[in-house]
Amino acid sequence: MPQGATLRVDGYKQTMQAIARTDKATRKAVREELRKAGDNVKAGAALRFARYDARSAAGYRTRVRQRGIAVEQSKKRTTGKHPEFGALQMRKALLPSLYMNEPRTERALEAALDRICDRFNRGGL
13-70: pLDDT as tens digits: 888 888 888 888 888 888 898 898 889 899 999 999 999 889 889 999 999 888 888 8
Compute the distance between CA of residue 31 and CA of residue 106 in angstroms, rounded to an integer: 16
24-49 helix and 102-121 helix, angle to the nearest 10 degrees: 170
Of 2-6, 69-73, 74-78, the least confident: 2-6
Identify the helix (H) or strand (E) that includes residue 47. Answer: helix 24-49
Question: Taking the model in full, what pTM does it have?
Answer: 0.76
- CA terminus-to-terminus distance, the chain: 35
Which amino acid is residue 71, in one-letter code?
V
